[in-house]
Amino acid sequence: NAYWRYQLLDIFYENSSFTVDLSGAPCDPQNFVNASSDLGLSPFNISSKNQDLFILYDCDLGRRPAPPASWTRVRCPPDLPPVFALLGNKYTPGGIATPPPTNYCAVSMIPVLGYEGATGADYRRLLQGGSLLEYTDAGACKACRVSGGQCRVDASDDAFKCYCTDGNDNWFVCGDNRKNKMKIMLIVSMSVAASLLLPCIYVMRRHRKRGTLCGKTSSNIERKIEALIVLHGSLFPKRYKYSEVTKITSSLNHKLGEGGYGMVLKGRLDDSHLVAVKFLHDSKDGEEFVNEVMSIGRTSHVNIVSLFGFCLEGSKRALIYEFMINGSLDKYIYSENPKAVLGWEKLYTIAIGIARGLEYLHHSCNTRIVHFDIKPQNILLDQDFHPKIADFGLAKLCRTKESRVSMTGARGTIGFIAPEVHSRTFGVVSTKSDVYSYGMMLLEMVGGRKNMSSVAQKSSEKYFPHCIYDHFGQGDGLQACEVSSENEGIARKMSVIGLWCIQILPMHRPTITKVLEMFERSLDELDMPPRQNFSQILEDPSYSLNAESTRTISCTETQVFSEVLEMEIRVVDSKTLQRLPTTL
């Protein structure tokens, strides 16, 4: 991985494997590699000899009891948040590791070698043992070993060297026997040829009935997906055939909904898991499809919907998600009496859960993710009404060291799009663009209506944020804004936080981490944000629109599928070997 350094523990040349420490500090698991989502291990594969070690952290124990007895609490310094561990079953490459339900903690999974009789109580020893990774032995290394040498890397120039028993180190092989060298060259040639042809053989076997990576009829989007599969291997979400998808959805019979993006059907996997299958229309060369697979495929969080797999056959594109029995948030907050259905305390809990999911996307992944379409329709609720962020079609993957988001045009839903996404006059696009959308959604949860419709009517009296400013300090409180007096404290707190989030300039908005801190404070400790309007911002020279530091987030690619692939993938057509661009 070009962005993280790992400690190499041991190398086993005889079976082309090695152990590596993929963890960080034992009591700081948020810096671990999450093997269920992190795509940074390619071109290595996680060995099936490992076991799943599940780790819980950032637990909200103030509102919930401790995890079940099967989880072991890790001994950590008292000033650090609690960490819990559970040793699971054998690691299955390409499988979906599912720990027991823990809806109030962040969860991570790391593969460990393990040993007989080990449990979560052996947490530190398991981490010290490392994870077993496998690699494909290069042709030059095979040749060196056949000649009696050992493969090494010269630390001075990172060049391959073959260390021989006579004490010499050669560039290629040991010995000077002509016959031996011919044998070695044959091995090298065969190995190199195999390394070039294997990806094509893999693709051709799976997709013989249509254009493939190695064929002329393959579409541009399929070549990108195929390249990513070859690059990321078992860590890429599972790919299903269209015939398998029709079986999962009972021949496309159980429709859940339909929109401009396509339609969603209910289905069931072979292991009886209920799923929602989202069929996408063919648009923009499939960029939204790739966005969704690449971004949500990297995540593993209780407040992010899980992607079980995808299907890509010609123009047929489908995404297979976990099924959320209670549907999306919008059908509750826009109902006649939403508070009677969910209640203020449940709405409050949902708001915090969404913020935690956003914090994970913005700050807890090796690759940051900006969602760009946070709205009630994209918040799904499970059987216990725990929220999960969904629909990553407009998301962008962002490197941690870059300084800003580069975009070719506005994206999002009217009423939730941050001003800077419309016009760079208001600042740079960043994670705070998601914070703005979150704030608008928070206010709609309080007001129980669509704020965008009020704007369209140009009636500031009906515009809910203005109503809050006008009546917040008065005796009637928020009742004038059609908010009931019951549990008004929760409504007032959510309103204040929402108003902070929708400040016009990004520099005045809190980060999503700061938003979570605001939820932890009492209403009396929260200040009312200043009331702003667009004309005031544009006309007042005291506002420095470019003064904000933009180090919060970053993304320089114009589309998510434009990320640089860090290996060469060669494709074979009927006439020649040609090199794919390293940037797809």
Q: Do 99 and 32 sit in the same domain of this protein?
A: yes
Three-state SS string over 365-387 comes to CCCEEECCCCCHHHEEECCCCCE
520 pLDDT band, cuts 50/70/90, is very high
Helix (H, G, I), strand (E, B) or coil at 47: coil
pLDDT tens digit sequence for 59-83: 776 666 667 777 888 888 777 778 8
Average pLDDT over every residue of 361-368: 74
- pLDDT at residue 478, rounded to an integer: 63
Q: Do 384 and 448 sit in the same domain of this protein?
A: yes
Tell me if 279 is assigned to some domain: yes
Above 90 in pLDDT, residue 548? no
Average pLDDT over every residue of 86-102: 65
- pLDDT at residue 73, rounded to an integer: 87
Average pLDDT over every residue of 239-244: 91
CA-CA distance, 574 to 570, in Å (whole number)? 13
- pLDDT at residue 56, rounded to an integer: 84
Top mean pLDDT of 26-30, 326-330, 463-467 is at 326-330
- pLDDT at residue 358, rounded to an integer: 94
Taking CA 79 as the corner, what is the angle to CA 77 and CA 84, rounded to the nearest 5 degrees? Answer: 60
The pLDDT > 90 percentage for the chain reads 19
Tell me if 547 is assigned to some domain: no
Instruction: From residue 501, give the alpha-carbon distance in Å to each of 72, 335, 439, 447, 513.
Output: 38, 24, 5, 16, 12
pLDDT tens digit sequence for 414-459: 788 898 888 878 888 889 999 999 999 999 898 775 544 444 444 4
Q: Do 244 and 342 sit in the same domain of this protein?
A: no
Q: Do 150 and 282 sit in the same domain of this protein?
A: no
Half-sphere exposure of 320 (CA within 13 A, CB side): 24
102 pLDDT band, cuts 50/70/90, is low
Above 60 in pLDDT, residue 356? yes
- pLDDT at residue 580, rounded to an integer: 28
Q: Do 146 and 123 sit in the same domain of this protein?
A: no
Q: Binding residue per annotation — 278?
A: yes
Above 60 in pLDDT, residue 387? yes
- Give yes or no for a contact between 79 and 120, defined as CB atoms under 8 angstroms apart: no
Residue 24 C-alpha from the chain's centroid: 20
pLDDT tens digit sequence for 45-57: 788 888 888 888 8
- Give yes or no for a contact between 305 and 379, defined as CB atoms under 8 angstroms apart: no
Tell me if 447 is assigned to some domain: yes
Helix (H, G, I), strand (E, B) or coil at 70: coil
Q: Do 384 and 526 sit in the same domain of this protein?
A: yes
178 pLDDT band, cuts 50/70/90, is very low
Tell me if 555 is assigned to some domain: no
Residues for the chain: how many in total?
584
Average pLDDT over every residue of 98-108: 66
Question: H or E stretch including 577?
Answer: strand 577-579
CATH number reported for the structural domain that contains residue 334 in this entry? 1.10.510.10
Please name the residue ranges forming H helices in 249-317: 287-296
Q: Which two tokens stand for residue 376?
A: 């009630």
Q: Which two tokens stand for residue 145?
A: 């070993």
Range of the domain at 251: 234-322
Tell which of 539, 557, 579 closes a domain. Answer: 539
204 vs 151 pLDDT, higher one: 151
Above 60 in pLDDT, residue 480? no
CA-CA distance, 559 to 543, in Å (whole number)? 31
576 pLDDT band, cuts 50/70/90, is very low
Residue whose entry in the numeric block shows the structure tokens 């309007």: 533
Top mean pLDDT of 204-208, 435-439, 477-481 is at 435-439
Q: Which two tokens stand for residue 309?
A: 């797999």
Catalytic residue numbers read: 373
DSSP β-bridge partners for residue 583: 564
Above 70 in pLDDT, residue 179? no
Above 80 in pLDDT, residue 165? no
Above 70 in pLDDT, residue 549? no
Q: Do 151 and 266 sit in the same domain of this protein?
A: no
Top mean pLDDT of 177-191, 368-382, 466-480, 548-562 is at 368-382
Tell which of 134, 150, 171 closes a domain. Answer: 134
Q: Do 315 and 374 sit in the same domain of this protein?
A: no
170 pLDDT band, cuts 50/70/90, is low
Q: Is the dihedral of CA 286, 287, 292, 298 positive or negative?
A: positive
Q: Do 316 and 334 sit in the same domain of this protein?
A: no
CA-CA distance, 321 to 326, in Å (whole number)? 14
Residue 320 C-alpha from the chain's centroid: 15
Work out how many domains the chain is built from and give that number. 4
Q: Which amino acid is at 31?
A: N
Tell me if 575 is assigned to some domain: no
Top mean pLDDT of 93-97, 104-108, 185-189 is at 104-108
Q: Which amino acid is at 549?
A: S
Average pLDDT over every residue of 189-197: 53
Q: Do 383 and 475 sit in the same domain of this protein?
A: yes
Residue whose entry in the numeric block shows the structure tokens 């379409």: 373
Three-state SS string over 474-497 comes to CCCCCHHHCCCCCCHHHHHHHHHH
Average pLDDT over every residue of 169-197: 55
Tell which of 134, 167, 196 closes a domain. Answer: 134
Tell me if 283 is assigned to some domain: yes
Instruction: From residue 43, give the alpha-carbon distance in Å to each of 36, 116, 230, 566.
Output: 16, 29, 9, 9
Tell me if 300 is assigned to some domain: yes
CA-CA distance, 394 to 295, in Å (whole number)? 10
Q: Phi-psi region for residue 566, left (φ > 0), alpha (ψ -120 to 50) or beta?
A: alpha
- Report strand pairing: 106-112 vs 131-134: unpaired
137 pLDDT band, cuts 50/70/90, is low
**Among candidate residues 360, 319, 107, 314, the one with its CA nearest the CA of residue 218:** 314
Q: Which amino acid is at 405?
A: V
- pLDDT at residue 111, rounded to an integer: 87
pLDDT tens digit sequence for 244-290: 999 999 878 888 887 667 789 999 998 888 999 998 876 555 667 87
CATH number reported for the structural domain that contains residue 298 in this entry? 3.30.200.20
- pLDDT at residue 547, rounded to an integer: 42
Cβ-Cβ contacts under 8 Å for 41 (sequence gap 6 or more): 1, 33, 35, 133, 235
Above 60 in pLDDT, residue 401? no
- pLDDT at residue 563, rounded to an integer: 33
CA-CA distance, 239 to 297, in Å (whole number)? 12
CA-CA distance, 37 to 300, in Å (whole number)? 6
Average pLDDT over every residue of 466-473: 70
Tell me if 552 is assigned to some domain: no
Q: Do 93 and 33 sit in the same domain of this protein?
A: yes
Q: Which two tokens stand for residue 316?
A: 């047929």
Question: H or E stretch including 127?
Answer: helix 123-129
CA-CA distance, 62 to 79, in Å (whole number)? 16
579 pLDDT band, cuts 50/70/90, is very low
Q: Do 297 and 391 sit in the same domain of this protein?
A: no
